[in-house]
A and B are shown apart, each in its own frame.
Chain A
Amino acid sequence: MLIKLVLVLTLFLASAAQAESAKVPLQKLTALSSIQLRCINGSESISVPVPERWNVRRAILTLRYSVSNNLIGEISQMIVKVNDEPVAQTKLNPQAPNVEAAIDIPVNLLKPGYNVLSFHVSQHYSRQQCEPPCAPDLWTNVSVVDSFIELEYDLKPVPRRLGAATAMIFDPKQFPEVDVHIVTDRLTAEAATLATVVASGIARRFDYRKVRFSVSRELRPGVDNVLIGSRKFALAALAVNSIELPQGDGGLLKIFHLPEKEGGWDPLHALIVIADERAAALKIAAATLANMSMPYPDTDELHALEFSMPDVTMYSGRNVLSSDKVYDFRTLNLPTTTFHGLNSNSVTLSFRLPADFLIKQNHYAKLSVNFSYGAGLKNNSALNVSVNGKALRAIHLDSVSGNFIDGYKIDIPTYVFKPGANTISFSPSLNTLGGLCETLQTDGLFVTLYENSTLYFPPMPHFVEMPKIELFALNGFPFTRWPDGYETIVYLPKPDDVALATALNVVGMVTQRNGFPLFGTQVTFDEPAGWGGEILVVGKANDVPKHYMEAAPLKLSDTPRVPYPTVGSWNAEAAIAYSRQKSGLGTGTGIIMEFESMYKKGRSVLVFTSQNNEGLATLGDAVLDPGVQGGITGDLVVIDLSNPKYPVTSLRVGNKYSTGNKGNISVLDSFLYANVYVFYGALALSILSLGLLGYWGLRRYRAKRAAAAQGK
């Protein structure tokens, strides 16, 4: 008996020791900056992802919230629900306004997928019946920064079925971050290009989830591996377990459990093999893997014979709104929504505008809203519309008997929009006709916003002043002008695994921002002299060619000329001091620089560099950090890699140039744009010259006419 008990205990401890854990602040799970629960019955919810691959053992929600001092603790309470099941309730005690509470969430409530974690309050500041339902005193605030959810889980074995396994392995619900190792048989530009295709496709499958790539010639234990290379190389990697690869036409795609060094398999991680002797077949197989977004095939292998992507148009991408086109709300992921009660939440229409939109000032986006509302609304009720957080219009709900409004038109000046992500929010502010001390009937308080409402954005030119690394952070511009990265080349001056891994991380980040895999991007190890497109350079500072560095805003030579911003001017360019010095980059600094391509006007070069491999690898990790992405701007970005928070310093110091007009801007346009006073001069000159020419012509004409009139 005792032995049995010891065995069970040992097994339990062993399994407990193998369990992994993830701790995520709620901030990472919601776009809200805080959860404000207002009125007598406020509620808010967030989604908690649980990956298919996880077998959750334990879930603890640590909640930190503040309550209004004016609440009456005895009759105010908060309920926490998971998927609509209450898991905790607590009194909102004003005597203890700041509370930290740990809530054990029953794991059986957590299903693979997105779980709704909701907070509901019933709060009062008066015991009387005559309590205003939305008095300012009625609030509870849940901090999303200090509250977090902690999950303990085991990994489930990876099924050896390609369709199911890829959905499980490249599951964006895994958090907080994921590692994928790519194994290539050799370090050539072709192999690196294939790795880029694979990494880009995988990154897209992970949606916005941070995914970190590493590259080597060997399998890496403890993470999922993707092997790309010849059949011979693949066989060598699997040799320890004596596996044969099947023959067949097309590139082979096969899934295994991850072989262990000593032989045997790690069933919790996968090895996906993409093998063929032909580069083209490999690429087809890689692209197939990267796009396998449904559980098919149910086999562990396939031979990829052909693969084609849908036709892409310039400037398209994830949630990118095409101009001059009418979208209904359903298309924009906003289905018909009903707002109920006094304090209903808002809904948001999220979309992106191309990063290089030249937003004109006098145009209007057209919003046509179809909605209905209930009877008995007080005449101060309204449906508020805001754009990018700025209140724009309150639609007056002024009919006591309710109404159905079809095609309520709102003209939104385009200058309230910005390139990149934009939002249009609808939040009702409903009030009932009843008096303060009357029994309030709130069931009639509703507004329904219909999905056939429409949004139209007028046409805008694609033209932008460069360099702007913030556009790169926004959606990978200008490398995503063609969403598949066509016309983009990745240049690794001195190729090694670290530089390639950094490049893959950058490519992955771009893919995630734009939502389309960069299948059209090439990798080169030779200088792309004469290249007519965009160039992404990744390498150590000493490896980047000198003339690249000379063109860059920070010339990293032996005696670099370093820009230092001075204070006191709104004109950023004029407020830069320069120091020529003999100094070094150091090991803890990463640099990102953007400047005009020396090969073609209007095209850009973006350089990612650091002093050594370690720095380069850290830089690759840093660019995946949303905080870093939000902070980079201008044409020179310096990232402190020694600080885990990666503080960023951004400057705008280099020469300006412009790009746009569907990717082709004439040399003359570009020159005049950068030298506006030359334009003024040329304009004056052309008017003067034309005037002189006109004068000359007219004088001759008049002389002739006068001679005729005088009979000469």
Chain B
Amino acid sequence: MMSRLLKLDSGNHSWQVPAAVLLAGALIYSIHFSGTYFNFDHQIGLGWVGLGVIYLLYKTGIADRQPWRIVFILLSGFLAARYILWRSFDTLAYTGPVDFVAMCILYAAELYAITIHFMGLFINAWPMTSPTVPLSDDPAQLPSVDVLIPTYNEPDEIVLATATAATQIDYPKEKLHIYIIDDGGTENKRNHPEKGMDAWERHYRMKQIAADLGIGYITRETNRQAKAGNINHALHYTSSDLILILDCDHVPTHDFLKNTVGHFLADEKLFLVQTPHFFINPCPVEKNLEGVANPSGENDMFYRTIHPAMNAWNSSYFCGSAAVLRRKYLEEVGGICGTTITEDAETAFQLHSRGYNSVYVNKPMVCGLSPESFDDYVIQRSRWAQGMVQLVLLNNPLKTPGLSLPQRISYFNSSFFWFFGFSRFIYFVAPASFLIFGLNIYDASWLQILAYAAPFVLSTFVVMNFFYKGTRQPFFSEIYESVQAMFLIPAVISVLLHPRKPSFKVTPKGVMNQNNYLSPLSAPFFLVILVNIVALVLAGIKWFDEPILRDVIMVTGVWCVYNLYLALVSLGAFWERKQVRKFHRISASGPVNVHFPRMKQAVAGEVKDISLSGIGFEIAPPFPIKTQERVILEAKDSYGQQYHFESKLQRIVKKGDLYFCGGEFMTNLVAYPNIVSFVFGDSQRWRDNWEMKSRSRRSARMLFYFLRMGIKAVKDCAFMLLKQALAALWKMLVKWCSTPYLRDKLVAVGGWFWYELYLGFIWGMEHIEHRHARKFSRMSANGTAMVDFPLHNAHVIGRLSDVSLTGVGMVMDVPFEVHEQEPVAIDVKDSEGHEYHLDCTVKRAVERDGHLLCGAEFVIDMHSFPEIVRYVYGESLTDIALHAVRPHAH
């Protein structure tokens, strides 16, 4: 059964499948056993030792070699399975309806993430790159190829470059047929009452380009089914065996067909050879890092690691461009499919399910443009997300007959992945839901987190770094996912509600941007940041308020900090950088000879960068050079082809003996194809560029940069809001103060405020005094008192030391022992000579320096109280004192 699903039915492996099932059973049993019988020490040991082994395998490079790679994957899978089983059976508890719903949502998000993780582990078991199959030297044995360049509204120069490069593809000319298939100049568009004129103009321009290059031009009546419809329409007018589809911004190299067509000759059942998309311009996130680092492009991960992994399972699918398809099989499924808006993947899916094969050639042979702004980026990703979700909903890869199990998993993974927006959003708000709303969403102690969750989470980082090293900087996937998450959710929901509704939106390319600014799309991240800050503040309060929940508070607090960090870093990635270049420069290398007609000398130099408009090179001429000087450049590509360009020096920067020069190509009809051939025709250049980015380090620096930018964004926005709030307040104040009545009111309110502040201060001082000092302050006193000790039947004269409303302090000499709580009566006189007889209780009797220090407390009742007050405060203050103190006394 298993072998049938895997389609591994060659040879006899009667014992291997049972052995694999047995060993897999042993692993499952191990998870069960450890989960049931292990205590925390063992669980922590198991989790962290597992993580340690994974890390060692990764760090020492052992995991790069087979079979250790598979061992690495199995161990990671063990940690993941262990976590999810623990999470499923030990942490889900019903604690109330709202808690339950929130808990289920978080659990679903985790289930989603772990499913993707498992599928990733499976797919990446052993990536495979198909080597080139050499072509026959006899042109007669080669299949004919149609090159279709679909276009819609892209600038002419983009289409021109691609079409020009297509004519330079190294393939027998009689077997190569190139067509611009234009959806921007369809009859419907040309007949549009308002935009018809533009469509006519475009129609003519495109026809002219085609005519100039000697290639075909095809347009159609309507724009039905967008790109898919355009290609299918072109299929009716063409007839070659193979079809190369190139997006109009995907400029091909000379060797494209040489490296791909051979596979069709080798494998009769092959329907597709897909090649990577190489992008000359950075995506918005990369662009923000210009000058900081040169990280791998966002697409590198997909084309350099994921696609080879899928290729191993015969699951490499059509990516819309830079791919060759066999007409025969394409026509079997009615051409490019148009049910979903990711027509490319859907077409490959249909053909795979019919048992045909695909191959991925991991060599970049087109150079394209990625979206320039976040808006365009989001448009593109939303289309991909919607299309792939449509694929799940309308075709369900898990159930479609004809696919092998790995193909099912690959397609399902590629489609299901696009739900990540939901899980990312849930992770953003989950800890806050506990800290702010008190929802019990994750029933676990911090020890369990340490034993199960932490090793698993950290292992996913190690696994990601291992699988995607060289193509994705650590933590960058988190940033890319976070940046897209908020915008994909509505897009995906709309597909879930109406699976057939989404329509194809063309991704804008070659857009320019005059300023640096924070993309308005970053707004939701301010909310995320605010929510997590509030949650963290509440975590601090709860830490002291609810000590029994400290476990959960600590876990959610750490989670909040991570969310906050991620949100800030993502916010930092949201800056839109200025983009004014019409043609993007790209790093290049190689020798160049620069002829200076003025000096009649040639100087050898080194190419630094190139673009369709010019070239940057470094030379050390023995004479001074100047801008606007005309030079002749002589360079070679990796195939050994020699090029001569006329150029004008536009920029010269001198560093020591070296000059860094920026030369502009002197373009004309004759030179242009040469320039295109030199700039875009050499596939080795794109490969070098890949390698250079792979060597890029400085991940921490990049993350720090994003963090700094994120904080700057928060700060700027906070200042801006504060400024606006203050301005509004000031405006209001000015308006109020303009009338005398309101000014008086303002003075009154101000006075009241200060008065309340003063009262608060007084209350505070009293409060502090009452807490830390006596209720009634003691005053020093002079004079004598006659003290009557009824228990001893004795009278003693004492010297008064202090007096307060609660009692008196006296110093005296007594021949007997005085006990605390002993009743005494004192006769005293005040300064005005009034005599008082006061009953007291001894509260304190201490012998010091041979004398007895005695503290006696007044016995207070209705009759004695006025007397005491009168004695303590004197006649004049008595009324005030009685008024102040009486409520306490009663």
Which chain A residues have a beta carbon within 8 Å of chain B's beta carbons?
70, 72, 125-128, 130, 360-364, 366, 392-393, 409, 411, 413, 435, 437-438, 458, 461, 463, 658, 661, 669, 672-673, 676, 679-680, 682-683, 686-702, 704-706, 708-711
Query: Which chain B residues border A409 with CB–CB below 8 Å?
Result: 95-96
Q: Is B495 an interface residue (CB 8 A)?
A: no
Q: Closest B residue to A705 by CB, please name it.
A: B314
Q: Is the CB of B78 within 8 A of A687?
A: yes
Q: Is the CB of A679 within 8 A of B30?
A: yes
Q: Is B498 an interface residue (CB 8 A)?
A: no
Query: Which chain B residues border A706 with CB–CB below 8 Å?
Result: 128, 130
Q: Name 17 extra pairs, CB < 8 A, besides A361-B448, A364-B93, A692-B70.
A: A126-B841, A128-B841, A409-B95, A411-B440, A658-B37, A661-B36, A682-B26, A683-B78, A687-B71, A690-B20, A691-B67, A693-B20, A697-B13, A700-B8, A700-B13, A708-B267, A709-B133
Kindly identify which residue among A683, A688, A701 contacts B8, using a CB–CB cutoff of 8 Å: A701
Q: Is the CB of B33 within 8 A of A695?
A: no
Q: Is the CB of B357 within 8 A of A688?
A: no
Q: Closest B residue to A676 by CB, please name it.
A: B42
Q: Closest A residue to B823 by CB, please name it.
A: A127
Q: Closest A residue to B30 by CB, please name it.
A: A683
Q: Is the CB of B36 within 8 A of A688?
A: no
Kindly identify which residue among B27, B68, B130, B548 contacts A413, using a CB–CB cutoff of 8 Å: B548
Which chain B residues have a beta carbon within 8 Å of chain A's beta carbons?
6, 8, 10-11, 13, 16, 19-20, 23-24, 26-27, 30, 33-34, 36-38, 40, 42, 46, 49, 66-68, 70-71, 74-75, 78, 90-91, 93, 95-96, 125-126, 128, 130-131, 133, 263, 265-267, 269-270, 312, 314, 357, 359, 440, 443-445, 447-448, 548, 821, 841, 859-860, 888-890
Query: Which chain B residues border A127 with CB–CB below 8 Å?
Result: 841, 859
10 A-B pairs closest in CB distance? A711-B266, A695-B67, A691-B71, A690-B23, A686-B26, A691-B70, A694-B70, A362-B444, A683-B30, A687-B74
Determine the distance from Cα of A688 to Cα of B95 in the docked complex, in whole angstroms: 42
* Min distance, Cβ A419 to any Cβ of chain B, angstroms: 15
Kindly identify which residue among B16, B133, B440 contacts A693, using a CB–CB cutoff of 8 Å: B16
A72 with B821, Cβ < 8 A, contacts A458-B93, A695-B67 known: yes
Kindly identify which residue among A364, A692, A704 contacts B10, using a CB–CB cutoff of 8 Å: A704
* Min distance, Cβ B35 to any Cβ of chain A, angstroms: 10
Chosen A-B contacts, 10 in total, with CB atoms closer than 8 Å, are A128-B859, A364-B93, A438-B890, A669-B37, A680-B46, A683-B27, A693-B16, A700-B8, A702-B312, A705-B314
Query: Which chain B residues border A362 with CB–CB below 8 Å?
Result: 90-91, 443-445, 448
Query: Which chain A residues border B75 with CB–CB below 8 Å?
Result: 687
Q: Is the CB of A700 within 8 A of B125?
A: no
Query: Which chain A residues border B131 with CB–CB below 8 Å?
Result: 710
Q: Is the CB of B10 within 8 A of A361?
A: no
Determine the distance from Cα of A702 to Cα of B269 in the docked complex, in whole angstroms: 17
A661, A696, A697, A709 — which one has the most chain B CB atoms within 10 A of its CB?
A709
A711 with B67, Cβ < 8 A, contacts A673-B37, A682-B30, A702-B312 known: no
Q: Is the CB of A686 within 8 A of B90?
A: no
Kindly identify which residue among B24, B263, B440, B860 contacts A709, using a CB–CB cutoff of 8 Å: B263
Query: Which chain A residues border B90 with CB–CB below 8 Å?
Result: 360, 362-363
Kindly identify which residue among A437, A458, A700, A710 contacts B888, using a CB–CB cutoff of 8 Å: A437
Q: Is the CB of B266 within 8 A of A698?
A: no
A709 with B357, Cβ < 8 A, contacts A682-B30, A691-B70 known: yes
Q: Closest A residue to B31 by CB, please name it.
A: A683
Q: Is the CB of B267 within 8 A of A692?
A: no
Q: Is the CB of A693 within 8 A of B19?
A: yes
* Min distance, Cβ A315 to any Cβ of chain B, angstroms: 18
Q: Is the CB of B266 within 8 A of A361?
A: no
* Min distance, Cβ B843 to any Cβ of chain A, angstroms: 10
Q: Is the CB of B548 within 8 A of A688?
A: no
Q: Is the CB of B266 within 8 A of A413?
A: no
Q: Closest B residue to A695 by CB, please name it.
A: B67
Query: Which chain A residues border B890 with CB–CB below 8 Å?
Result: 437-438
Q: Is the CB of A710 within 8 A of B312?
A: no
Determine the distance from Cα of A587 to Cα of B595 in the docked complex, in whole angstroms: 117
Determine the distance from Cα of A611 to Cα of B443 in the docked complex, in whole angstroms: 54
Query: Which chain A residues border B95 with CB–CB below 8 Å?
Result: 364, 366, 409, 411
Determine the distance from Cα of A363 to Cα of B95 in the docked complex, in whole angstroms: 11
Determine the distance from Cα of A669 to Cα of B36 in the docked complex, in whole angstroms: 10
* Min distance, Cβ B142 to any Cβ of chain A, angstroms: 15
Determine the distance from Cα of A130 to Cα of B38 in the docked complex, in whole angstroms: 60
* Min distance, Cβ B551 to any Cβ of chain A, angstroms: 8
* Min distance, Cβ A439 to any Cβ of chain B, angstroms: 10
Q: Closest A residue to B448 by CB, please name it.
A: A362
Kindly identify which residue among A126, A366, A698, A705 contacts B70, using a CB–CB cutoff of 8 Å: A698
Q: Is the CB of B133 within 8 A of A711?
A: yes
Query: Which chain A residues border B37 with CB–CB below 8 Å?
Result: 463, 658, 669, 672-673
Determine the distance from Cα of A323 to Cα of B215 in the docked complex, in whole angstroms: 80
* Min distance, Cβ A168 to any Cβ of chain B, angstroms: 50
Q: Is the CB of B70 within 8 A of A437?
A: no
Determine the distance from Cα of A463 to Cα of B38 in the docked complex, in whole angstroms: 11
Q: Is the CB of A437 within 8 A of B23?
A: no
Determine the distance from Cα of A686 to Cα of B30 in the docked complex, in whole angstroms: 9
Determine the distance from Cα of A690 to Cα of B860 in the docked complex, in whole angstroms: 90
Query: Which chain B residues border A697 with CB–CB below 8 Å?
Result: 8, 13, 16, 20
* Min distance, Cβ B279 to any Cβ of chain A, angstroms: 27
* Min distance, Cβ A321 to any Cβ of chain B, angstroms: 17
* Min distance, Cβ A453 to any Cβ of chain B, angstroms: 17
Query: Which chain B residues border A682 with CB–CB below 8 Å?
Result: 26, 30
Kindly identify which residue among A128, A672, A708 contacts B860, using a CB–CB cutoff of 8 Å: A128
Q: Is the CB of A695 within 8 A of B66?
A: yes
Determine the distance from Cα of A127 to Cα of B890 in the docked complex, in whole angstroms: 16
A705 with B128, Cβ < 8 A, contacts A437-B888, A687-B75 known: yes
Query: Which chain A residues border B130 with CB–CB below 8 Å?
Result: 706, 709
Q: Closest B residue to A412 by CB, please name it.
A: B548
Q: Is the CB of A708 within 8 A of B20?
A: no
Query: Which chain A residues border B70 with CB–CB below 8 Å?
Result: 691-692, 694-695, 698
Query: Which chain B residues border A411 with CB–CB below 8 Å?
Result: 95, 440
Determine the distance from Cα of A689 to Cα of B30 in the docked complex, in whole angstroms: 14
* Min distance, Cβ A312 to any Cβ of chain B, angstroms: 26
A676, A683, A708 — which one has the most chain B CB atoms within 10 A of its CB?
A683
Q: Closest A residue to B887 by CB, please name it.
A: A435
Query: Which chain A residues border B40 with CB–CB below 8 Å?
Result: 361
Query: Which chain A residues border B34 with CB–CB below 8 Å?
Result: 679
A690 with B548, Cβ < 8 A, contacts A463-B37, A697-B16, A709-B266 known: no
Query: Which chain A residues border B23 with CB–CB below 8 Å?
Result: 686, 689-690, 693
Determine the distance from Cα of A392 to Cα of B314 in the docked complex, in whole angstroms: 60
Query: Which chain A residues border B38 with CB–CB below 8 Å?
Result: 676
Determine the distance from Cα of A39 to Cα of B34 in the docked complex, in whole angstroms: 54
* Min distance, Cβ B271 to any Cβ of chain A, angstroms: 13
Q: Closest B residue to A435 by CB, please name it.
A: B888
Q: Is the CB of A705 within 8 A of B266?
A: no
Determine the distance from Cα of A672 to Cα of B31 in the docked complex, in whole angstroms: 13
Q: Is the CB of B91 within 8 A of A710?
A: no
Q: Is the CB of A364 within 8 A of B443?
A: yes
* Min distance, Cβ A470 to any Cβ of chain B, angstroms: 18
Query: Which chain B residues border A695 with CB–CB below 8 Å?
Result: 66-67, 70
Determine the distance from Cα of A330 to Cα of B33 in the docked complex, in whole angstroms: 39
Determine the distance from Cα of A454 to Cα of B514 in the docked complex, in whole angstroms: 68
Q: Is the CB of A702 within 8 A of B128?
A: yes
B11, B13, B33, B78 — which one has the most chain A CB atoms within 10 A of its CB?
B33
Q: Is the CB of A413 within 8 A of B445?
A: yes
* Min distance, Cβ B805 to any Cβ of chain A, angstroms: 13
* Min distance, Cβ A97 to any Cβ of chain B, angstroms: 15
Determine the distance from Cα of A682 to Cα of B27 in the docked complex, in whole angstroms: 9
Kindly identify which residue among B74, B126, B357 contacts A702, using a CB–CB cutoff of 8 Å: B126
* Min distance, Cβ A602 to any Cβ of chain B, angstroms: 13
Determine the distance from Cα of A673 to Cα of B30 in the docked complex, in whole angstroms: 11
Kindly identify which residue among B16, B27, B36, B859 contacts A687, using a CB–CB cutoff of 8 Å: B27
A709 with B267, Cβ < 8 A, contacts A361-B447, A682-B26 known: yes
